[in-house]
Structure 1
Amino acid sequence: MVTTPTPTERFTSDPVQSPYPSSGNGESDRTLTSRQFEEVRNVFNVFDVESSGFIDVPTMEILARSLGFRMGQQEIRDTIQSMQEERQTDDVESIDLEAACYILHKRGYSSRNAEEEMQSYFRLFDRGNKGYVTLEDLQQLQREVIDAEQRLNIGTSVNVEVDDVMLQAMINEFDTNADSVLDFDEFKVLLAPIIS
């Protein structure tokens, strides 16, 4: 009988082995690093508001988006179904930490580098793929975060909303060419301390 290590055992060293076999169709076989797993685990714990060890598919969609990945609920369900035989389950609505890591690994989370990571985050902020981030983009993202916190019943009891003056001040801080928006190079400077 083959024993499966716990998530803690499986994800303590660098690189971290994926709990699921490769598809054999040329997809990346790289695994999550300890840093990547810690990032996923920290975000997972935020969204697992009841500390049950599970989140649902709509919550996984939001979790993935917070990590820079856009994927629909059907895509998440399809990915879960592809691992059902390995996990010996037919529950495609409950996602534990291992399943979340598997879904993200299949979407390329384990193989992206810092530049790709920054581009993913930039795409989250750049509404409409304009090539820059505006004050309106930041306002819309802030509204979405507050709405998600309220829907998931997470966050502080009082939502902290940053006013337009502060949002524009943040843009101005990193806006080296003084065009009142953040292009990708300016955005990278803002994000570099977080990604590195």
Structure 2
Amino acid sequence: MSSVNSNDVHRIFEMLDKNGDGLVSLDELKWLLEKIGFHSSLDELESSMGKTTLDLMDFSFFYDTIIKSDINESKATLEGNDVDSELVEAFKVYDLDGDGFISCEELQSVLSRLGLWNEQDGRDCKSMINVYDSNSDGVLDFEEFKNMMLPAKS
């Protein structure tokens, strides 16, 4: 799966900005965070953000901070060999029907909800899955998902 680029971040921002005022409220941000498995109260978000709304620049900075934080946490977790519990939670976000596999439809549904899927982009979820589908069954099991999410060791 390709990484999220600045166009994707801008598209996510626009989807969250329901009233088109150029700002994302903490309620809207909280909704997004809950969709990807992060739970916090509005008070916690306001305390950490220092404001009640984010413009595109603030949102991009927030996104970059979260991604960098996740990368550092992933490195620390990898060093401690306790990565599976976090990956299990992430896997559950994509495994919508709970059958233990991520299908093309599930991947596309989650990416669409996050604003990362656009039919016009020409991306094909089957080819995205095929890159990591080591047993060629057309779906990702947990181990294949884990290989997709973890950086290759050099």
1:133 Cα offset (Å) = 0.4
1:70 Cα offset (Å) = 4.0
From 31, 44, 47, the counterpart of 1:79: 44
- What is the alpha-carbon root mean square deviation over aligned residues? 4.7
Give the distance between the partners of 1:80 and 1:125, measured in 2 at CA.
25
Give the distance between the partners of 2:142 and 2:41, measured in 1 at CA.
29
1:144 and 2:113 matched: yes
1:138 Cα offset (Å) = 1.6
Q: Which has the higher helix share?
A: 2
From 114, 133, 141, the counterpart of 1:175: 133
The normalised TM-score by structure 1 is 0.43
1:123 and 2:79 matched: no
Contact 2:27–2:42 (CA under 8 A) maintained in structure 1: no
The normalised TM-score by structure 2 is 0.51
How many residues are paired up? 128
- Which amino acid in the other structure matches residue 69 of structure 1? G
Structure 2 portions without partners, runs of 5+: 1-5, 18-22
1:59/1:176 Cα in 2 relative to 1: closer, same or farther (>3 Å)?
Answer: same
Kindly provide the CA deviation profile for residues 120-176 of structure 1, in whole angstroms up to 9, marking residues without a partner as x.
Answer: 43222221333220111022123323xx47xxxxxx9x95252xxx31122233222
Kindly provide the CA deviation profile for residues 31-65 of structure 1, in whole angstroms up to 9, marking residues without a partner as x.
Answer: xxxxxxxxxxx9xx856679xxx741233225525
Give the distance between the partners of 1:143 and 1:79, measured in 2 at CA.
27
The match for 1:192 is 150
Structure 1 portions without partners, runs of 5+: 1-41, 150-155
1:133 and 2:102 matched: yes
1:94 and 2:53 matched: yes
Instruction: Name the larger-Rg structure.
Output: 1
The match for 1:160 is 121
1:182 Cα offset (Å) = 0.4
3-state SS, counterpart of residue 182 of structure 1 = coil
More relative contact order, 1 or 2 (CA 8 Å, 6+ apart): 2
Contact 1:57–1:76 (CA under 8 A) maintained in structure 2: no
- Percent identical among aligned pairs is 21
- Which amino acid in the other structure matches residue 104 of structure 2? L
